[in-house]
Amino acid sequence: MRLFARAVVAATTALVVSTTPAHAAELPVLAPQSLGDFSVQTRYFDVAVGPERDQHCTVVGDIYVPAGLGPERRAPAILTSNGFGGSKDDQSGAAARFATHGYVVLSYSALGFGGSTCKIYFADPDYDGMAASALIGYLAGDNDGVFTDAALSTEAPALDVVRLDAPQDPRVGYLGGSYAGATGLATAAMDPRLDTVASMITWNDLSRSLAPEATGRRPVGPIKSVFGSAFLAAGAVLTGPLGYATDPARAAGCPNYAEWVCDAALDFAANRQPGPATLAAMRHVSPVDYLDRVDVPVLLAQGQKDSLFGLDEAAATFEALRSRGVETSMIWHSWGHNDRKGYPGEFDIKAPDPFAQHEAALVGNWLDRHLKDRDVDPGPAFTYFRDWVPYTGVASPAYVESETFPVGARRTFRLSNGVLSEGDSTNDAWTQTIRGAGASMPTTFGLPNLAAELPVPRVSLPGSAASWTTAPLTEPVDVVGSPELSIGPTVSGPATVFVTVLDVAPNGVRSPIHGLVAPAVLTGSTEPVTISLPSIVHRFDRGHRVGVEITASDPSFAGGPGPADVTVSSADPINRFSLPTVP
């Protein structure tokens, strides 16, 4: 085990207990009739994975079969897996619901998790995609390499209950969240037999998710240190000593991970950024790299309270697929990696109910349309949740539907001396300087993004931040999409700044929207730059003020060029801030 990996594990074990990314959510189902009881049996799959298909791994899964099915009465299937750190058992509640509503469900532990052997490959199409493809073969009736015991000594009987569209081609969809959400897309890229994917709270580009850069001029920026260290430590200690003893290959090279994961950690530690090989590896395990091979209908659901995989990850996948004519819909719900609870009547990850939860019905209708051929509304191209709308019962009144994306129109504010104004800017000269931008030691105090929902103000040391706010609003302003800040800064050298949208209450409390932050790397020139902030869905209420703040550092990030001083002044007429607003 590498020294660096050992150090990270020792330093972050306590952190992982509270911050390991969530397991995949238990997911919903909607069908008009229940078939009643079902059976559950565990299966072990000997799968061949890797670029050359020459590495064998054992995958453990549970097959849920509704009562009454057989060769003459078949049903469509759903393939589902776990989020990071989880197992097949995480989906047991949802799998049971699917089974009682007429689906055959195969819930399995992803490679490196929950009893499945081999390392963690971060939803790599060549590994995780091919493993899932082998399980699709089992659903089609192929029992080669399928066993009833972990020793792989007793061959399992062939499965003859799944509806077939053609020989060896089952009617099957993939449903998963977070890690499994990416695995579903990877599977679609590797196996054309998959009929649809419902992917929740996952990434489009893992390098951008873990090391975002908001100007678009560099492939990556500073790393999300809380999430990054949690991932590395959690995966390394996941199986414990017994796992390494029973599967020694896990310990070779990078412990329990593909080699590029440790290379990425070393790159960030030594150089504050990944090298070309690491960057290529991170993109290889990202949908952005293989979406041109995904041709089946895709439903995307992403969380507003998610500083790991934000709304823009789903938006990028949505736009890439729609541009190719692939049927795609997108939901922006309230919950995410920062807060899995959500709002009443929206989506309950512990007890999904399509008859009492709006998002559960949308997901269930999507699956029934594409797997059961039910004549149901495919749903809007885009729908989003508004947490400021009162309702009782089902959350439908809080959701807005749109056949287009993005929505709304831009509302632009000029930057003056600490003020955002919509009229002509004043002739008064002003200057604001952020000192020590990109310094290795943080100069901003506050809670990390994971705890950003708590009402704790962010406080910056004198000289380390610049901010602008509007006058108190006379009417509410509803924002849906990505705010943008355009500035022409003077920079003493390459520097990294962190930009946040603030909701300033009448009592002066300054709240970052869901703790979302945009790191931006400035080159040292005076060239104008536009910084795209994370997409939000938020109402700035009457009497509140809209604010935007630039800070020299952020407690949730590490790395990036710096330190240097960054000055924004009235000398540059480009200074403006825009919000995508809806009526």
Count CA atoms closer than 13 A to 297's CA, side-chain side.
18
pLDDT recorded at residue 341: 85
Which tokens go with 447? 């809670």
Chain centroid to Cα 80, Å, comes to 17
d(CA 346, CA 339): 13
* Residue 273 near residue 267 (C-beta atoms within 8 A): yes
Q: Which ranges in 122-258 belong to alpha helices (H)?
A: 130-139, 179-190, 206-210, 225-237, 240-246
29 pLDDT higher than 80: no
Provide the pLDDT for residue 462. Answer: 60
* pLDDT of residue 451 exceeding 50: no
Average pLDDT, integer, range 143-153: 97
pLDDT confidence of residue 82: 95
Domains delineated in the chain:
3-207+284-402 (3.40.50.1820), 409-582 (2.60.120.260)
Residue whose C-alpha is closest to residue 376's, from 27, 28, 32: 32
Q: Which has more pLDDT, 9 or 386?
A: 386
Q: Is the pLDDT of residue 529 over 70?
A: yes
Residue written as token pair 């809007």: 380
- Flag whether pLDDT at 526 surpasses 80: no
Asked if pLDDT for residue 444 goes beyond 60, the answer is no
- Mean pLDDT of all residues belonging to the chain: 87
- What is the model's pLDDT at position 425? 61
Identify the pLDDT of residue 329: 98
The tens digit of pLDDT for each residue in 92-129 reads 988 998 898 899 999 999 999 999 999 999 999 999 99
Listed range (245-249, 267-271, 338-342, 577-581) with the worst mean pLDDT: 267-271
Q: Which pLDDT band holds residue 350 (cuts at 50, 70, 90)?
A: low
pLDDT of residue 479: 98
pLDDT digits (tens, 9 = 90+) for 317-335: 999 999 999 999 999 999 9
Q: What is the mean pLDDT of residues 183-202?
A: 98
Q: What percent of the chain has pLDDT over 90?
A: 67
Q: What's at 447, amino acid-wise?
A: L
**Would you state the pLDDT for residue 7?**
32
Q: Does the pTM exceed 0.85?
A: yes
pLDDT on residue 273: 72
Q: Indicate the range of 60-64, 131-135, 240-244 predicted with least confidence.
A: 240-244
